Structure formats: structure tokens, C-alpha cells
Amino acid sequence: MLLSIAAIVVGLAILVWSADRFVDGAAAIAKHLGVSNLIIGITVIGFGTSAPEIAVSVIAVLEEVPGIAVGNAIGSNIANIGLILGITALLAPFSVSSGLIRSEYPLLFAATAVLVWCLYDLQLDRLDGFLLLGLLVIIMGYMIHSHRSTKSEATDEDEDDESMSSRAAWLWILLGLVLLIGSSRMLVWGASNIAQSLGVSDLVIGLTIVALGTSLPELAASIASLKKSIADMAIGNVIGSNLFNSLAVVGIPPLIHGFEVDSAALHRDVPVMVVFTLVLFAMSFGRNQRLNQIGRFKGALLFASFAAYQCYLYFEVVSGESWF
């Protein structure tokens, strides 16, 4: 037990440091390539911070505990919106650009809808995996193409002697990514050992301990982005991560072999994920800059809703009763 607790503490310390370095590198690459911070958040950081979820889900299927794989993806999507954006808004309110509402949110809705459709029959097979990964490739291609015009945003006055070189930036991205994955894995290992000792089901472990552990990179990256006044990267990180969770984290495991999905995931957890996604859109939509802001009140609502969901899961585990 002490070793597991130590793994959580050390992993968290490394995680926070490496996320800061990772955002440094990503922001520098955005400047050098003339790519917007938003698209860097959606692609590079979105994939990078979803790598722990992908690794955990693949391992879970190989070890024949697919509930962790599905719970990890769904729980991470819920945590990204309720916990990550909730805490981020509480620490530093931020505005959501109208362009993101028009372009990136519909893509997230599409990914969520396809994920629900694939889970509806409580089976995930190779066809589902190819469908989800195929949609991910299409979405990434569309997003990169649609943001090419942002290259003109980079101006010569932005290039100064203090700018990080491309070589150094890629080195920080690589080092940060390796440490993000390693430290997240350390956190999940310690937390999973503690949870399993309490006799919790693999689905609930995936929705809680594993999802929280693998979502910590998103939290660290989002806070680091706001510290550097890059709000677009913070929200882009969450949207990109949820896209990868819905399409890659769920799509890759069934390519190894198909498996059944716990009905509780579809009837209890998927509706919560969909509601959180819709609430985020409602909170971000507005006709002026003020209404587009996700402030501390909205952040508190997101965080409180996430806490209520976690409390319900805890109640269900302790009491053995379910409303679904």
C-alpha cells in the first residue's frame, strides 16, 4: 500500500513538471510553423495527453478486463469536461472563440454520436474499431486543412531572439510526452492497486481511478496553458483529448479482439458523457464575448456535477444498489 501511495505522489510531481515543458514546446512549434495554438492543442497535445488512455485500454483488453478500457474512455471524457475545465475555469476564467463553437464542437458531437451508436448493441468488434479510427482520420485531416489559413497569423514581430528553436521545442515535446505517459502510468498503477484491494469492479475502476489518473495530463496541460495565457490551447486540449478518447481509445482495443460492453456503461455512464458534452456547448455559446466566457460560476457547476457523478458511483459500489 505504501509503495502505491508513493507512486501516486511521485507520479503527480513528475506529471506537473513535464506538462509545463510539453506546453512550452508545443507553443514554440505553433509559432515556428504559423499554426494556431488551438489546432496544436487539438492535435499534438490532444493526442499526447490521450496516449495514457490508449496504452491503458490496450493493456486492459490484453489482460481480459475490457471494462477498464471502456470505462477509461467514457470516464476520461466526463473528467475532461467536469473536472479539468471545471478546475481550470475556477482558477482562471477563459473565453471560448466563436470559431471553435462553429467548427470543433460539431466534430466532437459527431464523434460522440458514432461512439454511442457503436456501443448501443453492447458489443465492440473490429468493424466498430475501423469505423471509429476511420472517422478520427477524417476529422484530423479536416481540422488540419481548415486551420491552414491561420498560418498568416504568425508575424515577423513575433520572432525574437528569445524564441525557442525548433530543435529545442521538439526535444521538449518528446521529453514531456515520455514523462507524461510514464508518470501517468505510475499514477494509474498505484491507484489501481489501491482500488483493486477494495474489490471494485473493472468498469468502475476504469470510470474513476483510471480515468482520473489518465486525465491528469489534461489537467496539468490546461493549467500550464492558462499560465501562459494560451486559453485556446487549454480548451483545444480538452476537445482534442475527448475526440481521441471517443475514437482511438475505444477504437483500438476491438482491433485486437472483440468484447462485450457492460450494460451499465451504456445506460448509466454514456448518458452522463453526452449531457456533459451538451452542457459544455451551452456554456460556451453566446452572442458576445462576455457570454462566451466560461467563468468561475460555470466552472463550479461543472466541478460540482462531476463530484456528484463520482459520489453516485461510490454510493453504488458501497450499497450494491443501482438506479439503472
Query: What is the DSSP annotation of 158-194?
Result: G--TTSPPHHHHHHHHHHHHHHHHHHHHHHHHHHHHH
Query: What pLDDT does residue 306 have?
Result: 96
> Where residue 306 sits, what CATH number does that domain have?
1.20.1420.30
What angle is formed at CA 312 by the lines to CA 308 and CA 317, rounded to 5 degrees?
150
Q: What stretches of the chain adopt beta strand conformation (E)? A: 94-95, 123-124, 259-260, 293-294
Q: What is the pTM of this model?
A: 0.78
What are the helix and strand counts (H, E) for the chain? 15, 4
The verdict on residue 174 lying in a domain is: no
Neighbours of 33 (CB within 10 A): 15
- Inter-residue contact 248 to 54 (CB < 8 Å): yes
The verdict on residue 274 lying in a domain is: yes
Query: What pLDDT does residue 73 have?
Result: 93
The verdict on residue 122 lying in a domain is: yes
Query: What pLDDT does residue 158 have?
Result: 43
In the three-class reduction of DSSP (H, G, I as helix; E, B as strand; rest coil), residue 287 is classed as: coil
Torsions phi, psi for 251 (to 5 deg): -80, -30
Domain count, the chain: 1
- What's the domain range around 218? 2-149+184-319
The verdict on residue 157 lying in a domain is: no
The verdict on residue 168 lying in a domain is: no
Distance CA 226, CA 234 (A): 7
> Residue 242: which of 276, 204, 201, 293 has the closest Cα?
276
The verdict on residue 205 lying in a domain is: yes
Residue 306, C-beta contacts closer than 8 angstroms, at least 6 positions apart: 78, 79, 81, 82, 83, 86, 276
The verdict on residue 167 lying in a domain is: no
Average pLDDT, consecutive stretches of 10 residues, N- to C-terminus, the chain (324 residues): 80 74 76 68 64 77 84 93 90 73 83 95 94 92 67 43 75 84 74 72 80 76 70 73 91 92 92 94 67 82 95 82 66
The verdict on residue 236 lying in a domain is: yes
